[in-house]
Amino acid sequence: MSPKQIIDISLVATPEVDASALTGLHGVLSSFGHMVPGPVSFKPRVVSPDAVWRNIKAPGQVIKNVMGMPLPLQSRLSDVKQTDVLLIPSLYLLTPEWPGNPYPDLTEWILRMHRQGTLICSACTGAMLLAETGLLDGYEATQHWAFERLFMTHFPKVRLNISKVLIATGADSRIIMSGASAAWHDLLIYLISRYAGPHAAQTCAKFFLLNTHSDGQAPYVIFQANSQHGDAIIQSAQQWLHENSRHPNPVEHVQTVSGISVRTFSRRFQKATGLSPINYVQRLRIENAKYLLETKSDAIDAISWKVGYEDPAFFRRLFKRLTGMTPGAYRRKFQPGEMI
């Protein structure tokens, strides 16, 4: 009888960690051997920077995360010399700024583990800590769509793709990343499948009701317009567009009112918002369509007209391109139904 293979998994916990993701990952991995008996089991442990441990001033003192939840401190970084898998769960980012390499010892530890052959993983905004290592520079990455601008500001060398839920990346594809908060389910199912096989992963998913997000993050993304750029003419245009996006010729209107040439307006608009004027209007209209699909029972052709498109076929193609789903599929997924 061959010995049982035990996969050592280090779950990184800083004070910003999402305690629900941390305990969810730990709970499923810890109980896997009982739920799915077989040749493989997982040994998760919570690993925290030594600086966090230094905050303990008395025996039995509880350290809490930024949301006030107790952190289960188990191991110091300096005590972990080897691990099969290193996983950074999602973080609560409560301010609009990122401090820049907030845990230098964690950055060095991740790099050291990577050199030793450890599989490096991040879930959601845990990607911010992973990106500090430089291991993602020049490579595709994913994380929570809501923090796209923050990530790109601090890590411009990384090719962020928020449409992806799960990707393998890095120089040798030894970095696995998942997208928004609940995408730790996708990451967990991947890890179980990688080490214990697809059947074991499916069995575990059924037992814990773990969901995969095969349609990507695009259906969940809420358009977040950038208006903090200091260009008053473009800000005025944005405000008008938000209030009048269904106007028959919204781009032509704001260009005329701006009093500057079409080429100059388009260049400044792109620089300020990151989108061309027409793409900006398309995103506003599709966002309005999503709201109507979620809250109203109007026919899709009628919704197309209400948001500014007289050609329903064009509307359907645009909706699918921006959300990854047809309008009908989007309505079925997101329109609230009977909960009980």
Q: What is the CATH number of the domain that holds 244?
A: 1.10.10.60
Domain co-membership, 201 together with 271: no
Q: Which two tokens stand for residue 258?
A: 């701006």
**Closest by alpha carbon to 8, among 63, 74, 86, 60?**
86
- 230's torsion region: left (phi>0), alpha (psi -120 to 50) or beta? left
Asked if the structure places residue 160 within a domain, the reply is yes
Asked if the structure places residue 224 within a domain, the reply is no
Domain co-membership, 158 together with 236: no
pTM over 0.95: no
Mean pLDDT of 16-20: 93
CB–CB of 160/150 below 8 Å?
no
Number of domains the chain contains: 2
Q: Does 214 have pLDDT greater than 80? A: no
Asked if the structure places residue 318 within a domain, the reply is yes
Domain co-membership, 39 together with 152: yes
Asked if the structure places residue 103 within a domain, the reply is yes
> Sorting pLDDT into bands at 50, 70 and 90, what band is 339?
very low
Residue type, 95: T
Asked if the structure places residue 223 within a domain, the reply is no
Rounded mean pLDDT of the chain? 91
Domain co-membership, 190 together with 269: no
pLDDT at residue 1, as a whole number: 45
Domain co-membership, 243 together with 210: no
pLDDT at residue 338, as a whole number: 53
Domain co-membership, 27 together with 63: yes
Own/partner contacts of 287-293, CB < 8 Å, gap of 24 or more, are: 287/222, 287/223, 288/245, 288/246, 289/315, 289/319, 289/327, 290/323, 290/330, 290/334, 293/327, 293/330, 293/331, 293/334, 293/335
Beta strands 85-88 and 5-12: pairing type? parallel
Domain co-membership, 22 together with 153: yes
Mean pLDDT of 254-274: 94
Domain co-membership, 48 together with 161: yes
Structural domain harbouring 38: 5-218
pLDDT at residue 2, as a whole number: 57
Domain co-membership, 212 together with 257: no
pLDDT, tens digit, 9 for 90 and up, residues 30-54:
999 888 888 999 999 999 999 888 8
Alpha helices in the chain (DSSP H): 19-35, 50-53, 104-115, 127-131, 148-154, 184-196, 198-208, 232-243, 250-258, 262-273, 277-295, 300-307, 312-323, 327-334
Last residue of a domain, one of 218, 240, 260: 218
Domain co-membership, 166 together with 251: no
Domain co-membership, 169 together with 108: yes
Asked if the structure places residue 51 within a domain, the reply is yes
Last residue of a domain, one of 190, 218, 246: 218
Length of the chain: 340
pLDDT at residue 61, as a whole number: 73
Domain co-membership, 209 together with 236: no
